[in-house]
Structure 1
C-alpha cells in the first residue's frame, strides 16, 4: 500500500487519539519520551518524572550523585554570535515558550520589572553576540566533496527528500506537501487497517496507533543563518553535547541541502552579525549570565557556575514555592502542565529510597533519554510511529517488508550482537543495511560509550557462551558450510560483497565478528523465536535437518559448519552458485582494450562517460559539465543497471580508492589571475562539449570548445597506475581580448608542493606537470579555497609547438 495509507492513518489516529496526527506540542516543555509514554501510563509516573528532571536540566542547579540524572544542559554558546540571529535571541530570552513552544529552557527573566528585563536582555544579547568563533574547516575526501562555500549551494528539493528519507521524520514533523514513494503495507498493518477504531482500542492496540508528536523545530528561519544551520547539521555534538540531536552522517552538500529545505521560508539571507556593542554592556551581560545561573546549563568559554540551589534529595515536590508550580519571583519559570508536575513530585518522593535500578530499567531509561524509541522497538515499547511508517523506504522500493525498511528491534540485542560490533554501530561505522534509506545516527561517545555493556548485561549475559562451547571442533567443517549456504542463505544474502543476481540482504561475510555464536545457533534453529514476523524461514523445522546427505543430517554439525565457513573468510572460496552467477553477470572487465560506457553516475551526472583500462585505472568524464569527475582503481563497472533497468540507481565504481575531481571546468578564461574560478554553468564562455573520438588503441579523446579555442582532452594509463592526461589546444584569441586561457591543475582546502611540478591536495591526489609549465604556474587562495593555475599559450591551427600540455594524476 502506498500513498493511500496516509489518509487512512490520519482518520484512524484522529478517531483514536482525538488530536492532529502531526501536532506540535503546546507551551509546556516537550520531552519526547515523556509525551509518548508517561502521558499514556506506559511507563511509571516516577520514571517520567526522572526523565523530566534530566531533560529540563533541573540537576544543573539541584545537584545529585545519581549518574542517570545528569542534566541535559543547554547548547554551547561559545560562538553564538555567528550562529544565532540577534533579534531571535532577544525575542527568545524575553519569552522562550512563546517563541519556541515546547522549549525545555525555563524563563529566567519573567519575574523582572519591564525596564530591568529589557536592559537585561540587551546586556545578555550583547555578551552572547560578542562570542564569535570560526566555523571548522571541512576537509574534502573522495566520498565527501566540499565545494567552495558549499552552504550557499543547498537545493531545497533534494533537502526535502533527504529530510523525509534518512530518518529525520522519526522525531520531527513531516511536510504535508511531501509524498513518499510506493510502500507495501505489512500484513500486521493490513490487519489493523481492517479493524474499526473501537476494536483497536478494545484489543489494547491503541498504543501502536497513537500518533507520535514531533520534536519542535521552532522558527528556524528567524533563528539561524544558512551557514550556521549547515554546520550544525554536520556536527550537532559540537553545539549540543548531550546527544539529543544526533549526527546523521551527512556529507557537506547534503547538510547544505537540508538546511536550504528547513530555511525555505527565509526570504533573504540575514547579514552576518557584527560585534558593535559597548564593552561595558558586554561586561554587564557576562555578569548577568553568571548571576542568573545561565552558566549552570550553558558553556561559554571558561565561565563556571558560582551558585547552586538545594541538592535534589532535599527538595519537597509539594512545597508551596517551587520551580515546578506557578511562576515565583527569583525562580526559573517552567510552564509545566499538571501531569508533568505530578510526575516530578513522584520522582522526587522516590529519590530517598536510593534503590539501585535493575540493569534493564537503567538501560530503558537511557533509551528514553536519547529517544531511541523513535526508531527502535524494544520489549514491545516504541518503534517508528504508525503514522510515520510510510516515510521509511527501501532503495528503489525493493520489497523486503517492514523488516527491510524499518529500523531493527533492540529486543535481545545484547544477546545478539558482540560488544565490539555494537560499539562500532554506535560510532557510525557499522552500516550493513544499504537497502534502507534511513540511517543509523551517530551519538557522542561520552553519551553511548557504556551502552554495549549495558545491553549485554540487561539481555542476560549468563546465556552467552564461548565460541568453543557452542561450536566445539567446528574448524574442520568449513567445506560443508560452503555447501550449506547454497540451500537458502545465498538466495537472500551476499557473501563478502558477492551475491546472486537481485540479492539485497545484509552481507553474511563478516557475521561471525558481529553476532554471538549462541544467538547464531538459536536463530537458525528457530528464527521467529528471536525475531517475530521475520521473513527468515527455518531450515530446521522441529529441530531436524532437511539435508540428510550432508554430515549425516546432524543439525548441530550443519549449523557449526556454517559458522566455520563464515569464520574462515577469504580462506574459503565463494559458494559455487555465486561463482557461477559471477561468470554470467554484466560486470565490465577491460582485458585487452579500454571499455567505454555512457551511463549515469552520482558524481559524474546523467551524461557520464566511463572509460575503463586493462591497467585497472579508470576515469568518468561528465559530458554535461565538461570535466573529468572521478578516477578510480581496480574493478570497473557493472553494466546491468545501465543496460537493462529503466530506473536503475547511479552506477558506482566497483573498484577501490575513488577520488573526486574538483567541481567546475578544467579550463577557463580569466581577466586576471586573481579572478575567482568560475563554475561551469556560470561561465560567460561556457565549455561546449562536442563529443569524442576513439583512436586505434580504443582510447577516447574528448572534444570541446571554449570561446575561440578548440580543445582535445585525452586520458590514458601511466606508470604505477597513474593517469596521463594530454590536452591539445587550437585557436587564437580575438584581437583585443581581455581574458587569458588558464588550466586549473588542482584545487583544495590546502595544497602542498611535493617536488617541482608536483602538487598534492588534502585528499591525497597528486598532479604533476612539466617544469616549464610549473614555472609559469600560480598558487592563489580565495576565500579558503586554494587553486594551482597555469596560463596556457595561444596557438593557431597551423602550429604544433606550445599547444599541448601533459598532466599526470596519482592517488
Structure 2
C-alpha cells in the first residue's frame, strides 16, 4: 500500500504521464529497438558508438535515416582522457561518417562494476528470477522472457541509509529526441531521482543520465551508447528528522555512473517533482519510473548501511576505490591481507606471501618521543573511536570498559616509559604550511582541510593529529617517515626542511615551541666542580674509574678550565633545584661530543665528532633537588658547549646559571622559591602525582604493559626492542590456508581475536581471498604491478591501463607554477608504457628515492624506499620495453654529432629550447623538463619513436612533432634525414650539461657575443684558477688561458659565455662556457725543464716553479698574445681562430726565447698533448678520440713517450724556437 500521504491524484499522475508519452512516442519517434538483435536491422546501429585515435575521442550518435551527430573530444573520450573542455559537434551522413572513421578505432567500453555481486547482508531486489520479482516488487512489476526487469515498478522493501547497485539498458531509438529517447528514472526512497535517459553524446544536464533531476547536473556525462549495459552505484544517506517530524538534515548522495563519480556527497534539499513518495522520516522504496520507453534492468541489490559502524572501518584507499562496489573480491581481499597485515599472525603460502607485501605497523622504539602519552592511552582503549579509519585493530575489544582502560594505561607506560615528546625547536608558519599541505601532494591521500571537498572514503584519516603529535615530533616524523613506518604507505615527500616544519605547524597548531635565545655569558662565581682528562677520543668514554689529570671548580660550563683546545675530556657536576613539578625542556649543544645526566640517568646523548649541533629533550621533574652532570670532549678544531633550559616559572636561558655546587646550597635555593620544599634528597627525573591529569610513569604498571604487549599479540605487528632485543608475540594463529572465513577476525559474532570493525564488503573480500588460497600458478608480472601500485596508492596520482589517476574531485588539487602548460604541467604523468619510455635504473631511482624533475609541478614525487618499490623498475621494463626504432648509424665524429644536435634543438632548428630548459638556463617560453637530464631518464629507442609522433605515446600532449608526415622541418642538417637528426640530438643530450647551451636559451642571461672583434672576459671560470682569462672570437672558437698555470686550460666552440652571474648582484661563483665541445686541454704549463726523457712532467704550479706572468698584448684584430717567463726562457703564446662550418678551431703559435746566456738544449720541452694519443697517417695525432693536432717546429720532430698509462707528445727546444700547433676538435 502507498504511504498515508500518497494521494489518489499522486497515484494517477505516473500512469497518465506514461499514457501521454507512449502515445506521443509511437507517432513521433519512429522505430524503437529494445534488444541488440532487433537493432541490427537498422544499419545505423552498427555505426553508432565510440571511437578513438591518438589525439581524439568520438561519440557517434545515430539520428535516424542515415544521419548522425559526431561529437569530438580532445585527448580522448569522457572519463578516458578528455580534457574536460574542448568539444565539437558536427552532423554528417552515413557515407561521410564511414570516410571519417577510417582513421579511428572502435571501442566498446564497459562499466568496471558490471556484474558486481551483492555483499553479505544485502537485499537482492532483482537477480533475473521470478522469485526475486515476486518477493521484492509490488504488483504490476514485470519481467521479460530473457529475465530482465521492465521499467515502471516499485520495491516492496523500503530503505533508509544504503548502498545500491543497479544495471540498466536504454533502447536504440534513433528517431527519438530529448526526453523521449530511452527515458526512465531511478527514485531513491521513491523521492529523489537519478535520471535515466539515452543521453549518449549530449551535454550532461540535470535531466539527462547521471543528473539529479531538478537539483544538479552530473560532473561528467558518462552515458554509454544505447543498448549497452550501464551501472549506477549509489551511496545514499537519508534525511534526518526530529521527534516532531521536522527535518534536521537533508539527504545526501554519492553517485557513480559507469564507475565514475558524477556526484560526490551532494545534498538533496528537496524531493524530485512528481516523486511518488513525499519527504518524511519513514524509509522509502526503490522506484523505477515508466516514461513510456522500454528501459530494462538487472542485477539490483541494496546493502543497508550503518553509518556509525561504517565510519569506524579501516580505510584502504585502493580498496575503497576499486573494490568497495563488491567487484573482484579475491584481489580486493588480497589487498586487505596486505594492508591489514594479516600475514603478521597468519603465515601465508610462498606465492601469496611474495605478492602480499604487508603494511608493517609503526616501529614503537622511542614512541614516547613522537606521541603524547595521554593520546596513546585513549587510542589504545578504543582505536576506532579515537581515529576512525585506522587499520589498527582493537585488541582490547572483548574487555570490559574498566579492563580496557587499565590495559591501555599499562601498555602506554611500557611503550612511553620515561621518554618525553620532542617539543622544542623553531616554529613554522601555519599559513605556508596550509598551502604546502594542499599543493605538495598530501591531499592526494589525505582529506583536504580547507573548503575543498574530496572523497573521504579514499582518504587516509588524520583525525586528532594535533592531540597525537607536538609540532616538533610531527616534523621529525615527516622528515623520515620510513624510519617509523617502513612499508612506504606514508612515503617521504622530499620537502625542504623548513617546509616540513611549516606543514607540521599547520597540522598540529602547536604553540608550545621554546625559543632558547642565544645568550652565552657565564655565571659570575664558580658553581660547579669539574674534572679534566687529557685524552684524544672520537666517542665519549666511560669516565668512572678514569683518573682525571686536573680537577677544580668552574663558572658553569666553562670549557677553558681544561686549559686545552683539543684532545681533552671535561666532566662538570652540580645540583639543580626544582621549585615546581612539571615538564622541563633541555637543549645541549656542543662541538664535539657531549652528554647530559640528571640523577644519574642519561637524558641527552650528543656524542661524536661534529660541528656545533643541538640535541633536545623534554621530561617531567619532581620538585626537589636533582644531581646534574655534563660530560664533554673536544677532539680538535672549533670548541663549544652550551646547555639551555625552560619550564614552569623558568624563562628560556642558560641552565648553568641555575646550578649550585653542593646539596646544601641547592636546598637553600629551592627553599627560597618553594614554601613546601621537600626533604633534600635526589629525585628521579619523573613527575609526582601533583599533576593528576597527565601521564605519570610507573615502573610496576609498565611491567604489566610489557606482558600485555606480548600476550595480546602486539609484537606480531610492531617492532619493539626491550633490553636490546626485539619482543615477540606469545599468540599462536593458524596459517592463512587453514583459516575459516567465518571465524576469528572475520566472525560476525564477537570473539577474543583482534577487531578491525570491517564492513560486510571487506569481510566478503577477505573471505574470497581465503577461499582462493594459494594460486596454482605464480602471479604474473602485471598482477604484481597492479597489487603494488594499489598498496602504495600510486593510483591516487597515476593512471595506467585505464586504472587510477586523480579522482575527479581531487583533480583540482594538483597545481602548477606554469598554468600555460595545462594538465601536463600539473597532473602526475600516466604510466602507460613507462617501462618503454624510462630507463630501468631511473625508474628504480624515482620510486626508491623520489624526484623533482618536473619543478613546475607543485606535487612532489615521493620516496617510497627501495625495499617497498624498487622491484617496480624490473616489472615495468618486462611489461613495456620495446626495441623497435630504426636508428641509422652516423659516420661523423662525435664532436660533429653533438654540434649538429645542439643546432637542432636550438631556436634555428627544431626549437626544443622554446619550451625546455637547459641546466640553470630557462627556455624562451614555458619551462618544461630540462634537456640536459633527458638521457638519464629516457631510453634512446623510445626517444627515436616518440619525437616524430608524440601524440601516439601521450595523447593530448602539447609536444609538437618536428617531423610532420615523417618529413623534417630542418632540411640543412643531414638533408632532413629523420633518423640521423634524432641520433645527433641524442648525441647532444648525452653530453648533459657539457653539451653547450643551445642557441635560443636566453632566460636571465647576459650573453657576450663576439661579432667583429674578440671579447676578453676576466672572471671566475669553472675548472680554471681564479686568474683565468676567457677569450671569445667571432670565428666561434673560444678559450680560457690560465695565468696561474701559464696554460691553455679550456677550449670550446660556438657560443662564448654568459656574464649574468658576475654582472648581477655580488658577482659570486664560477661561470661555465656557453658553447659546446668544451675540452680541458692543459692543466699545467706546456713548457717545462726535464732532466731527461725519463723525468715526469712537473705537476707543481707554475708559480712554485718560478714562472711569472708578463701580461698579454693585443694585435690589430684584438687577439691577445699571452706572455710569461719560464725561468730559463720567455714564452709568447698566441692562438689564432680558424672559422669552420660547425665551429672554429685554433692555430697556436708559441715563440720560445731563451734567457740570454742560458743554454736550454736537451732540457726544455714543449708538451703538445697528453692522454690517449694515436698517430695519424698525415703525421698528426688524435688525442682522446676527440682532438686532432698537427705540429710544426724549427726542425725538431715530435717524441711520443708513455707515462702512467697515458702518452705524451713532446717537442725538444734547443734554442730560440717557433712552434705552430693546429688544434681541431
* TM-score category of the 2 structures, normalised to the smaller one: 0.5 to 0.7
Pairwise mapping of residues 193-204 of structure 1 onto structure 2 (< 5 A)? none
> What SS does the aligned partner of 2:932 have?
coil
**Which of these residues, 806, 809, 813, is aligned with residue 391 of structure 1?**
813
Q: In the alignment, is residue 406 of structure 1 matched against residue 827 of structure 2?
A: yes
**Which of these residues, 390, 397, 405, is aligned with residue 103 of structure 1?**
390
CA distance in 2, matches of 1:249, 1:431: 9
The Cα offsets for residues 304-342 of structure 1, whole Å up to 9 and x where unpaired, read as 23443111111222x3x2202335332111211111111
Pairwise mapping of residues 329-340 of structure 1 onto structure 2 (< 5 A)? 329-340=751-762
Check whether the contact 1:108–1:292 (CA below 8 A) recurs between aligned residues: yes
Query: How far is 1:572 from its partner?
Result: 4.2
Q: In the alignment, is residue 284 of structure 1 matched against residue 704 of structure 2?
A: yes
Q: Which residue of 1 aligns with 2:1029?
A: none
Check whether the contact 1:324–1:341 (CA below 8 A) recurs between aligned residues: yes
Query: How far is 1:250 from its partner?
Result: 2.5
Check whether the contact 1:373–1:383 (CA below 8 A) recurs between aligned residues: yes
Pairwise mapping of residues 772-791 of structure 1 onto structure 2 (< 5 A)? none
Q: Which residue of 2 aligns with 1:518?
A: 941
Q: Which has the larger radius of gyration?
A: 2
Relative to structure 1, the CA distance from residue 38 to residue 652 in structure 2 (aligned partners, 3 Å threshold; closer, same or farther) is farther
CA distance in 2, matches of 1:234, 1:246: 10
CA distance in 2, matches of 1:429, 1:31: 23
Q: Which residue of 1 aligns with 2:1202?
A: none
**Which of these residues, 27, 30, 38, is aligned with residue 315 of structure 2?**
30
Check whether the contact 1:150–1:253 (CA below 8 A) recurs between aligned residues: no
Relative to structure 1, the CA distance from residue 170 to residue 430 in structure 2 (aligned partners, 3 Å threshold; closer, same or farther) is closer
Check whether the contact 1:81–1:273 (CA below 8 A) recurs between aligned residues: no
Q: Which residue of 1 aligns with 2:785?
A: 363
Query: How far is 1:283 from its partner?
Result: 1.2
Moved more, 472-481 or 263-272: 263-272
- Gaps of at least 5 residues in structure 2 are 1-82, 85-205, 220-252, 257-262, 268-306, 515-581, 584-617, 621-685, 687-695, 1010-1014, 1021-1058, 1073-1225
Q: Which residue of 2 aligns with 1:173?
A: 447
> What SS does the aligned partner of 2:311 have?
coil
The Cα offsets for residues 394-417 of structure 1, whole Å up to 9 and x where unpaired, read as 22x441000011111111111111
Relative to structure 1, the CA distance from residue 552 to residue 178 in structure 2 (aligned partners, 3 Å threshold; closer, same or farther) is same
Query: How far is 1:79 from its partner?
Result: 1.1
Query: How far is 1:524 from its partner?
Result: 0.9
CA distance in 2, matches of 1:239, 1:652: 44
Query: How far is 1:240 from its partner?
Result: 0.7
> What SS does the aligned partner of 2:265 have?
coil
**Which of these residues, 430, 450, 457, is aligned with residue 156 of structure 1?**
430
The Cα offsets for residues 353-394 of structure 1, whole Å up to 9 and x where unpaired, read as 343111111111101000011111111211122212222222
Q: Which residue of 2 aligns with 1:733?
A: none
Pairwise mapping of residues 155-234 of structure 1 onto structure 2 (< 5 A)? 155-177=429-451, 213-234=458-479
Check whether the contact 1:164–1:391 (CA below 8 A) recurs between aligned residues: yes
The Cα offsets for residues 146-165 of structure 1, whole Å up to 9 and x where unpaired, read as xxx87441111111011111
Q: Which residue of 1 aligns with 2:419?
A: 132
Q: Which residue of 1 aligns with 2:530?
A: none
CA distance in 2, matches of 1:292, 1:636: 64
**Which of these residues, 313, 327, 343, is aligned with residue 59 of structure 1?**
343
Q: Which residue of 2 aligns with 1:547?
A: 970
**Which of these residues, 1061, 1070, 1074, is aligned with residue 636 of structure 1?**
1061
Q: Which residue of 1 aligns with 2:485?
A: 240
Q: In the alignment, is residue 379 of structure 1 matched against residue 790 of structure 2?
A: no
The Cα offsets for residues 24-69 of structure 1, whole Å up to 9 and x where unpaired, read as 971111001101111246x622111111111111111001131222
Relative to structure 1, the CA distance from residue 125 to residue 576 in structure 2 (aligned partners, 3 Å threshold; closer, same or farther) is closer
Relative to structure 1, the CA distance from residue 212 to residue 112 in structure 2 (aligned partners, 3 Å threshold; closer, same or farther) is closer
Q: In the alignment, is residue 16 of structure 1 matched against residue 439 of structure 2?
A: no
CA distance in 2, matches of 1:354, 1:420: 32
Check whether the contact 1:233–1:247 (CA below 8 A) recurs between aligned residues: yes
Say how many residue pairs are matched: 553
Query: How far is 1:579 from its partner?
Result: 7.2
Pairwise mapping of residues 690-769 of structure 1 onto structure 2 (< 5 A)? none
Relative to structure 1, the CA distance from residue 79 to residue 402 in structure 2 (aligned partners, 3 Å threshold; closer, same or farther) is same
**Which of these residues, 64, 77, 93, is aligned with residue 380 of structure 2?**
93
Q: In the alignment, is residue 259 of structure 1 matched against residue 504 of structure 2?
A: yes
Q: Which has the higher contact order (CA 8 A, sep 6+)?
A: 1
Check whether the contact 2:493–2:850 (CA below 8 A) recurs between aligned residues: no
Q: In the alignment, is residue 495 of structure 1 matched against residue 928 of structure 2?
A: no
Relative to structure 1, the CA distance from residue 429 to residue 259 in structure 2 (aligned partners, 3 Å threshold; closer, same or farther) is closer
CA distance in 2, matches of 1:413, 1:457: 11
Q: Which residue of 1 aligns with 2:859?
A: 438
CA distance in 2, matches of 1:433, 1:90: 43
Relative to structure 1, the CA distance from residue 569 to residue 264 in structure 2 (aligned partners, 3 Å threshold; closer, same or farther) is closer
CA distance in 2, matches of 1:78, 1:378: 38
Check whether the contact 2:446–2:459 (CA below 8 A) recurs between aligned residues: yes
Query: How far is 1:215 from its partner?
Result: 1.3
Higher helix share: 1
Query: How far is 1:246 from its partner?
Result: 0.8
CA distance in 2, matches of 1:46, 1:368: 14
Moved more, 289-298 or 73-82: 73-82
Q: In the alignment, is residue 49 of structure 1 matched against residue 333 of structure 2?
A: yes
Check whether the contact 1:414–1:456 (CA below 8 A) recurs between aligned residues: yes
> What SS does the aligned partner of 1:512 have?
helix
Relative to structure 1, the CA distance from residue 325 to residue 307 in structure 2 (aligned partners, 3 Å threshold; closer, same or farther) is closer
Q: Which residue of 2 aligns with 1:480?
A: 900
CA distance in 2, matches of 1:468, 1:479: 22
Q: Which residue of 1 aligns with 2:405?
A: 118
CA distance in 2, matches of 1:472, 1:359: 38
Relative to structure 1, the CA distance from residue 15 to residue 283 in structure 2 (aligned partners, 3 Å threshold; closer, same or farther) is closer
The Cα offsets for residues 232-289 of structure 1, whole Å up to 9 and x where unpaired, read as 1111111111111111112332222111111138899996565543322211111110
Query: How far is 1:470 from its partner?
Result: 7.1
Check whether the contact 2:489–2:791 (CA below 8 A) recurs between aligned residues: yes
Higher strand share: 2
Relative to structure 1, the CA distance from residue 425 to residue 576 in structure 2 (aligned partners, 3 Å threshold; closer, same or farther) is same
CA distance in 2, matches of 1:532, 1:211: 31
**Which of these residues, 708, 727, 751, is aligned with residue 303 of structure 1?**
727
CA distance in 2, matches of 1:211, 1:541: 46
CA distance in 2, matches of 1:253, 1:90: 31
CA distance in 2, matches of 1:516, 1:454: 16
Q: Which residue of 2 aligns with 1:648?
A: none
> What SS does the aligned partner of 1:323 have?
helix
Check whether the contact 1:497–1:509 (CA below 8 A) recurs between aligned residues: no
CA distance in 2, matches of 1:30, 1:213: 7
> What SS does the aligned partner of 1:578 have?
coil
Q: Which residue of 1 aligns with 2:740?
A: 316
Check whether the contact 2:315–2:457 (CA below 8 A) recurs between aligned residues: no
TM-score normalised by length of structure 1: 0.62
**Which of these residues, 823, 839, 853, is aligned with residue 418 of structure 1?**
839
CA distance in 2, matches of 1:470, 1:371: 42
CA distance in 1, matches of 2:448, 2:1062: 37
Check whether the contact 1:374–1:382 (CA below 8 A) recurs between aligned residues: yes
CA distance in 1, matches of 2:409, 2:1067: 54
CA distance in 2, matches of 1:280, 1:273: 19
CA distance in 2, matches of 1:162, 1:581: 27
CA distance in 2, matches of 1:359, 1:100: 36
Query: How far is 1:223 from its partner?
Result: 1.2
Relative to structure 1, the CA distance from residue 444 to residue 575 in structure 2 (aligned partners, 3 Å threshold; closer, same or farther) is closer
Query: How far is 1:227 from its partner?
Result: 1.6
Q: Which residue of 2 aligns with 1:69?
A: 356
Relative to structure 1, the CA distance from residue 110 to residue 210 in structure 2 (aligned partners, 3 Å threshold; closer, same or farther) is closer
